[in-house]
Amino acid sequence: MSCLEVAEEAAREAGKILRENLGKVKEIEYKAKNSIVTEVDTKSENLIIKIIKTNFPSHDIFAEESGRDKKTSSHVWIIDPLDGTTNYAHTYPVFSVSIALEIEGFIKLGVVYDPIRDEFFSAEFGNGAYLNRDKIKISETRIVEESLLCTGFTHENEWMVDENLKHFENFIRRARAVRRDGSAALDLCYVACGRYDGFWELGLHAWDTAAGLLILKESGGRITDFSNSEFTIYSEEILATNGMIHDEMIGVLSLGRGKRIN
């Protein structure tokens, strides 16, 4: 099977686990303040790794719960087995499986699967982005005032909470509306397919953004940090838009930047 076929099989099989166990979570552990993990995260991750390793035993794995297994291959699978764990634990039906393939430091493949809506977002470098089998593209909204935006809040750093509350207020006063869905991977895909016009967040991790990054770029979107510098999956801030409102959003974000304490 091709890398994309393996990624799709892994995402869909993991999605079955998420569907079957929704509302049945028995174990919740805290990794940090308001950052939880359930036994379903682990089951999903183990299955994804098994499918990938069966097909590509020499490839490396970098997964949210188990970390990086080794550093010997130019091919690294970056996995979030359940993006939106808090939603999942509360049976709020917004969560996803995210899988990306990094080759020699560049993201070449990304898939995000929403098992509740059976929506499979995918992209391969240079080949466009898709929702199920239909090609997708970003919205044509040109100003923040007419935009539907999205964000998320981390609790790992207090200054990030304080700063993003300022950003949230500034955008609430300027945009048509702002949402907070709780799955960054889906948020990026929603910008990619035009449901959202822009998304910003602080404190995300590589597994949150790796797949969505490529899907957004391949749909025609733009992604940077808050200062308009190049975004990488290891950046602490992300701004993803349809491109047309990007500069205006950077201007709004500049209003809310405060003193940062790591």
For residue 159, tell me if it sits in a domain. Answer: yes
Give the E-state strand segments of 132-203 in sequence order. 134-135, 148-151, 177-179, 198-202
pLDDT in tens, 22-39: 988 877 777 656 566 788
Residue 233: give its domain's CATH number: 3.40.190.80
Name the domain count of the chain: 2
**Under-70 pLDDT residues of the chain:** 31-36, 258-262
- Domain span at 88: 3-135
Match 């089951």 to its residue by tokens. 43
pLDDT for the residue numbered 5: 98
Residue 86: give its domain's CATH number: 3.30.540.10
User: CA-CA distance, 44 to 52, in Å (whole number)?
Assistant: 13
pLDDT for the residue numbered 70: 78
| 206 and 101 in a common domain | no
pLDDT for the residue numbered 256: 85
pLDDT in tens, 73-84: 999 999 999 999
| 16 and 121 in a common domain | yes
